[in-house]
Amino acid sequence: MFKTIVLLVLILFCSFTISYAQKKKTQIFVLSALHQLHERTKFYSFETLSQIIEKQKPDVLAVELTASDLQTGKEQKTKQEYQRSVFPLLNKHKYTVVPLEPAEPKFSQIVTLVRESEKELREKSPEKGEAFGVYNRLLFDYLLKTWSSPLDVNSAQTDALLEVKHNYQNELFGAKQAQGWESWNRHFLEVILEAAQKYPGKKILVIVGLEHSYWLRKELGNNKDVILLKAEQMLN
């Protein structure tokens, strides 16, 4: 009888310890943004994006901007979700916000790698560049036709297709493209994990362009120091 009681106490203690440790871990939800394509998706409009952000009630927002653009509220030509959805919510809710994009000179160093890889492919193998352009267009035509909800955009199926796309892209464009893509995403990851350490037990909502999501979800899902929240759980 005594041994049974001791065993039960140990089980309860372990359960409590595990539960407490889980609560102290920062929760992270990666939400894919479609940039200007929100204009073309009625099921995932700028208004819908705003509603999703508010519903998540995040403690921290991690956004795909430089610190300078975030501070000034600079209008974004491509990432239109900022002036259309995010910036108004920052004024309304006073979220704690973390900029994901690197400052200079790192910003230009990474962008230069990608641009040089694209220029080299155009000059050396223009037909390959044209073929990739067709592939990219067909892929997004397919996605836009088959998506019907924000959950579809943030699904494992979409992530898988975009991972294949970027593996192909890196092979086609070469080492500079691969290095630039890895460096950009790796910087995002480092900033997110720094924020997780700074705000233990809090909820971080990461808002990034669709094509970054698969990479971040894979890395964060393998990190035992944080809890990656699943789209199926958060968007249903």
Q: What is the mean pLDDT of the chain?
A: 92
Overall average pLDDT of the 218-229 stretch: 98
Q: pLDDT (tens digit, 9 = 90+) per residue, 88-141?
A: 999 899 899 999 999 999 999 999 999 999 999 999 999 999 999 999 999 999
Which pLDDT score, from 0 to 100, does residue 5 have? 52
Closest to 67 measured CA to CA, from 29, 107, 119: 107
76 pLDDT higher than 70: yes
1 pLDDT higher than 80: no
Overall average pLDDT of the 65-81 stretch: 97
Which pLDDT score, from 0 to 100, does residue 236 have? 82
Overall average pLDDT of the 167-193 stretch: 98
Structural domain spans, the chain: 25-235
| Confidence band for 24, pLDDT divided at 50, 70 and 90 | confident
* Percentage, residues of the chain above pLDDT 90: 89
| Confidence band for 18, pLDDT divided at 50, 70 and 90 | very low
